[in-house]
Amino acid sequence: MLELYGQKFSSRLLLGTALYPSPAIMADAVEAARNEIVTVSLRREAAGGRTGGKFWSLIQSLGVRVLPNTAGCHSVKEAVTTAQMAREVFATNWIKLEVIGNHDTLQPDVFGLVEAAGILSGDGFEVFPYTTDDLVVAERLLEAGCKLLMPWCAPIGSARGPQNVDALRSLRGHFPDVPLIVDAGIGRPSHAAAVMELGYDAVLLNTAVAKAGDPIAMAGAFAKAIEAGREAFLAGPLEPRDMAVPSTPVIGMAAFS
């Protein structure tokens, strides 16, 4: 079971709700993924106008836990204000905290992120920080009150997959008891399986499913890949070797003359 801030979940896949061809396809993708947590942007809800209420009703009908996010925020003040508004709109203390520092890479502003995380944690929020794979930043976020970490494996929406496996492995090794969720950069189910094999607890993605040729089928594929990656990690995958090792015993083989 996946445990996040005292809540337990069967699925280790978290899905975003943006960019889908239609709300109906988004809903079907969530069902196909069998996931229990979806992220929703306050900007998406607020910008929806008359359709915003319908979208929120659709999300509620899915029976999933909502994780509001501060997507698009570029300052501490903006992120904190957005989080406070999201708590009122979505009636939850959960917040996926994003403080973007670079317009091109959408890399987090880690200094602002730590500051905002401290403010929100002190205000009773349960913070899901979108961060880099830097160990020092991770330590600062935990000191700020975060109980989990959400490192990227590549820039948002890039679909590149894990770019620095050593850094991801190092994070897992340094924080064995902290829930780690890979967020951003996943493009294929094989990417998700790969990070789960490193011992990560879950994967959050959006674009890879929403912009797929068949979002519903892709959601199901990711769900299976994440389950397979988790099972492989628990089973203890064979580590890479420098030399070839025969799989058939040499001793006892028949000798022909």
Active site residues: 96
Q: Are the CB atoms for 33 and 15 separated by under 8 Å?
A: yes
- Residue 17: name the closest of 89, 53, 90, 69 by CA: 69
Tell me how crowded residue 186 is: count the other CB atoms within 10 A of its CB: 30
The number of helix segments (H) and strand segments (E) in the chain equals 10, 10
CA-CA distance, 188 to 131, in Å (whole number)?
A: 21
Distance, C-alpha 225 to centroid of its chain: 14
For residue 23, give every residue at least 6 positions away whose Cβ sits within 8 Å of its Cβ, in sequence order, or none: 54, 55, 58
Distance, C-alpha 5 to centroid of its chain: 15
DSSP 8-class letter at 239: P
CA-CA distance, 204 to 15, in Å (whole number)?
A: 6
Compute the chain's Rg from CA coordinates.
Answer: 20
- Residue 75: name the closest of 40, 44, 113 by CA: 113
